[in-house]
Amino acid sequence: MIPYGTGRPLLTPVDQDGARRSARLRRLGLGERADASFDSFDAFADRVAEVTATPFSIVNFIDGNRQFFAGLHTPAGIRGGADLGAAAAAGNGGRYLARDHGYCPHVLARRKALVLDDVCDFPRFAGNPMVDGIGIRSYLGAPLIDRTGIALGTVCAVDTVPRAWGRAGLDTIKLLAREFAVQIERREASHP
């Protein structure tokens, strides 16, 4: 349990697959650093933002200790993540985030999509540092489950205003996550 400025506790989900996920990410060469091959991940995040009409979208790999934004779309187009605010200011120009920040660790632990029309409607999520850090008010995310069955991370879209995502939003983010999982498989096949 980690207390934040709201005085409410935020429970970070227990990560049952952390060690297996970390090992799989290392084998795939994902989750550690950005390089030229990650341009396609940023392009995918741009596509997620366009399809969902959101200011922020992320392709996020999560190991046992932190989150790595392998694909990132921000309103200003700053790939380093500077417009993610102080919550993501440290490390690799803002591409890393503590594991207990944001909503993606919850998606990972659930292994199911998470739809939050207004994060402030949910005490469990309203106290998250990302609410105040960049003003997140709505979240839509789905797990990236690879061919081995391991949830490697998430694909998510976030907005600074409440949104009614509806069934269409849920179906869209799940489809995008499956599409990106195929991209990971192709990357693995071409870089054995």
Per-residue model confidence (pLDDT) at position 188: 86
Give the β-pairing of 138-145 and 151-159.
Answer: antiparallel
DSSP category for residue 13 = P
Can you give the pTM of this predicted structure?
0.84
Residue 51 has pLDDT above 70, yes or no: yes
On the CB side of 59, CA atoms within 13 Å amount to 27
- List phi, psi (to 5°) of 29: 75, 30
Closest Cα to residue 131, out of 45, 8, 1?
A: 8
- Per-residue pLDDT tens for 138-154? 999 999 999 999 999 99
Average pLDDT for the chain: 82
As a whole-number percent, the residues of the chain with pLDDT over 70 amount to 78
pLDDT at 121 over 60: yes
pLDDT at 89: 43
Q: What is the predicted pLDDT for the residue at 88? A: 47
pLDDT top residue among 158 and 100: 158
State the Cα–Cα distance between residues 70 and 169, nearest whole angstrom. 22
pLDDT value for 140: 97
What amino acid occupies position 146? Answer: D
Domains delineated in the chain: 14-190 (3.30.450.40)
Q: What is the pLDDT of residues 92-115, one digit of tens each?
A: 456 788 887 888 999 998 899 999
Mean pLDDT of 117-145: 85
Q: Is 157 exposed, middle or buried (0-12, 13-18, 19+ CB in 10 A)?
A: buried
C-alpha of 166 from chain center: 20
Average pLDDT value for residue range 43-55: 95
